[in-house]
Structure 1
Amino acid sequence: MNTILPISSESLIPDMSQNPETHQTSYTFNLDYGGDGQVKGFCDELAAMRQAIYKIINTERYQYPIYSWDYGIELADLFGKPIPYVYAELQRRITEALMTDDRINSVTGFEFSNSGIGGGDVLVKFNVDTIFGTISAQKEVTGVV
């Protein structure tokens, strides 16, 4: 039995220079956030984008060494700030965090509300336009003011 081995490892690396517009696939593991937190199969396109949005806006930037410094959102410094400032910063920071994903076209339709003791909880709802369709999302920040 004769086995032919490559002469160098360069032949094992695909040539991506032919198509610089290659995008990463959206096919990924399906995480069950609402249930028991288990991985349950796979998801793709809109379901995968919903999951990616959830992960981005629920991961504090710079806190976890496994993530790039471009991944996640900065929310920790908003605690104790006035509500109008938090509204403006949340819109900017959510947009900035999500737009790092090249599958997201825009983040629009921000709606804010606040509740809790002394109005210290902020809920923001927004729409994320992706290459697969539009997703409605929300983020709650507690303990502001």
Structure 2
Amino acid sequence: MIPSNTNLLNLTFDFAEQPTKTYQMDLKTGKNIRGYTDELEAMKQAIFKILNTERYQYLIYSWNYGIELADLFGEPISYVCPELERRIVEALTWDQRILDVTDFAFDSPKRGVLHTTFTVHTIFGDVQAEKTVNI
């Protein structure tokens, strides 16, 4: 007799959203961990970690985690600005808690450095973020 698994297809599943509670990092130094954080503060930390992790470099992370910045070195600024915007949006929107990334502003404070500021819209509220890239 062949086993029947048709009952599995009729089951309904409830998906529960996992809490965002995590260890709190000192984002200024990136070294100290003190207590726990949740919601908007946890999102600031998640954004910081995503934007400071080079994609495909660490086996511990999924290939969907992090941002690709290494290949931008040596490229002209006219190429780097729109490409950096696209890569930041792509890297951050993999997180389901992030709805959109907008309001990009670029500045080149000195030769070989590109600084961008932007707004990250999350389910907990908006976060102002920034990223500096050596090009």
* Residues 1:49 and 2:43 are matched in the alignment: yes
**Which amino acid in the other structure matches residue 85 of structure 1?**
Y
What CA distance in whole angstroms lies between the structure 2 residues aligned with 1:44 and 1:59?
21
What CA distance in whole angstroms lies between the structure 2 residues aligned with 1:92 and 1:136?
17
What CA distance in whole angstroms lies between the structure 1 residues aligned with 2:97 and 2:53?
19
SS at match of 1:74: coil
* Residues 1:124 and 2:119 are matched in the alignment: no
Using the size of structure 1 for normalisation, the TM-score is 0.82
How far residue 18 of structure 1 moved from its aligned partner, in angstroms, is 2.3
2:13 aligned partner = 18
What CA distance in whole angstroms lies between the structure 2 residues aligned with 1:55 and 1:82?
26
Using the size of structure 2 for normalisation, the TM-score is 0.88
What CA distance in whole angstroms lies between the structure 2 residues aligned with 1:18 and 1:78?
44
Runs of 4+ in structure 1 deviating by more than 3 angstroms, as ranges, are none
Alignment counterpart, residue 55 of structure 2, candidates 61, 79, 82: 61
Give the gaps of 5 or more residues in structure 1.
1-16
- Aligned residue pairs: how many? 124
Percent identity, please: 52
